[in-house]
Amino acid sequence: MKAMNKMQIFLTLVVMCFSARVGAQELIITPISGDRMVSDYIAQHIVYPESDLQQNNSGKVVIGFHLDVKGNSSGHHVVSSFSEAASPLALDMVKKILWEPALKGGKIVETDCEYEVAFSAKSYRRYWKRHERIEIPLTMDVDTSYRIYQLQELEEVAMPYFADGRNFGQYVAEELHFPEVARASEVQGVVRLHFIVETDGSISNIHIIKSVGAGCDNEAIRLMQDTHWIPAVKNGKYVRSHYEQDITFRIGNRNYQDGNSY
């Protein structure tokens, strides 16, 4: 029994950001895009403090915040940190995360919670040995309020747009890999994704609002994770904005989205 209790405590500490034990009930806190995609986004976009990187300093920054019953987060603050230079960088990452309302005993609750951002000098170097850094040319100041604008709040010329050098349809045509499971099962349809175009042109908080399944959802997400955008503009500054994108998977006829027939 003691061994079992120790294991439960250990597992709780490992996943405390998403599923913390509170009394006899479980407090479940989940990002709208899921745990894995948030971790992927942070790994791809976190900036490692140069001084810590040179000294191989690794550790964690714990960010506390409040979550209301609608899933809105506020009051972000540093609870603990292995490095003063890393604190604002971790804080920026966590402020970008969108959340589902917290659940306790199956009911939506308001709560205080924490999120850990891990910094590993070794992992950081290994990641950027395998990946290419893509810098989006940005020429304006950035809105630092973290407000997210709806497209109808923006002028047409100030909306975010795909910054690959190809139009989006051409990008999909050249990069989409039709899932074998979908092809074998003759599954087709349109996957609709919702995401946030951040002020640096990165894509965050991807989640599915129209599903196809059979591997198509995952492939649509993969395609979107690899994109870069010019962010929206409001009042002369780059701002965060909501965006939706359809990706079509079609069997038999020529697929205008990816240029192929299946």
Q: Which domains does the chain have, with CATH numbers?
A: 2-130 (3.30.2420.10), 141-249 (3.30.2420.10)
In this predicted structure, what is the pLDDT of residue 1? 46
Place of tokens 């995401």: 195
Higher pLDDT, 253 or 77: 77
In this predicted structure, what is the pLDDT of residue 244? 96
In the chain, the largest separation of any two C-alpha atoms, in whole Å, equals 64
Which of 124-133, 141-150, 183-192 is predicted most confidently? 141-150
166 pLDDT band, cuts 50/70/90, is confident
| Cα 150 to Cα 8: distance, rounded to the nearest angstrom | 43
Lowest mean pLDDT among 33-37, 59-63, 130-134: 130-134
Q: Residue 37: which residues within 8 A CB-CB, separation 6 or more?
A: 31, 206, 221, 225
Among 237, 137, 151, which residue's Cα sits nearest to residue 195?
A: 151
pLDDT at 253 over 70: no
Q: With beta carbons less than 8 A apart as the criterion, state whether 238 and 142 touch.
A: yes
pLDDT at 208 over 80: yes
